[in-house]
Amino acid sequence: MKKKYPGLPQVHDLYKPVVKALMQLGGSGSIEEINEKVYEDMKLPERVLSIQHTDGRTKLEYRLAWARSVLKMDGYLENSARSVWALKNPNIKLSDINILDIEKRRRSNDKTTIVDDALIKVKLDTESDNEILDWKGELLNKLYQITPSAFERLTQRLLRESGFIQVEVKGKTGDGGIDGKGIVRINGFLSFHVIFQCKRYKSSVSASQLRDFRGAMQGRADKGLFITTGTFTRDAEKEATRDGAPAIDLINGDLLCEKLKELKLGVEIELIENITINGNWFDQFN
């Protein structure tokens, strides 16, 4: 069968690169650190890194999330509430990982598992790309349906809920790609003037767009904030933290969904309680 995305690694192709990345990071690392190491080690081209998924991440980020979760189910990895992943066995060798055995166990039956905080049904068919639309994809689809001005107002509400003050949106009068501004206070003492841009994109934001935004914010703010429903290219991520230039914080679609969930803005969380009866426990009373 012809692959829909030539060059895009399958989930099973990522098991060893993920473990290798953690080994290089000293046994533990954040999702961003792990992914960055995998990109470097696999020497993947930008066209592969920028393929979009439906939930605000790239296809590769999505599949790396599945790879981590499968490795966790198989006992190779563990993760904390702060999204720090670690090797369960710090002395593990890549030769210890039997991909065929892992795949047999994964494909034996459908399972419900945690993928970076999202409870979804595991039924991977990545070759045909028949992947399940999770809550983030559903949320982003809703964001694509609202007007640009409504998205700006939503961003304004999001920043206010996050502790920003004096948040203003420029609307149609915005200039140089600036959609609004606000002030963020740190511990009630320090304050920073922030200029932001918010774009409802299904594609990636490029480095040139960040350079244009930085040019517009020069001399007008301490920090820049770029929010998108899409993703950022690798070059854009590097441009955001380029030495000698004002830093720009980046919020992609995935992180935007997480923030809306955290603040319960349009996202309701339902906790499901699973109750299991231990019949053997009652035998002690016989």
Whole-Å CA distances, 161 to 12, 62, 93, 165, 268: 40, 28, 46, 9, 16
Say how far apart CA 281 and CA 240 lie, in whole Å. 58
User: Which residue has better confidence, 87 or 105?
Assistant: 87
For the 140-262 domain, the top CATH level (class) is alpha beta
| Residues 178, 217 contacting (CB under 8 angstroms) | yes
Beta bridge partners, 190, equal 186
pLDDT > 70: what percent of the chain?
A: 84
DSSP 95: G
The beta strand positions in 56-105, using DSSP E, are: 77-79, 84-87
Whole-Å CA distances, 256 to 56, 63, 68, 139, 222: 8, 19, 22, 10, 22
Res. 115 pLDDT band, cuts 50 70 90: very low
Whole-Å CA distances, 172 to 111, 176, 181, 190, 217: 48, 11, 14, 31, 17
Buried b (16+ CB within 10 A) or exposed e, 36-69: bbbbeebebeeebbbbbbbbbbbbbbbbbbbbbb
For residue 23, the Cα-to-chain-centroid distance in whole angstroms is 22
Query: Mapping DSSP to helix (H, G, I), strand (E, B) and coil, where does residue 69 land?
Result: helix
The average confidence (pLDDT) of the chain is: 82
DSSP 63: H
pLDDT at 213: 92
pLDDT at 227: 95
DSSP 245: S
Average pLDDT over residues 200-221: 89
User: Which residue has better confidence, 198 or 55?
Assistant: 198
pLDDT at 122: 40
Say how far apart CA 216 and CA 219 lie, in whole Å. 9
pLDDT at 263: 86
What does the domain layout of the chain look like in residue ranges?
A: 11-132, 140-262
Residue 1, pLDDT above cutoff 70: no
pLDDT at 120: 37
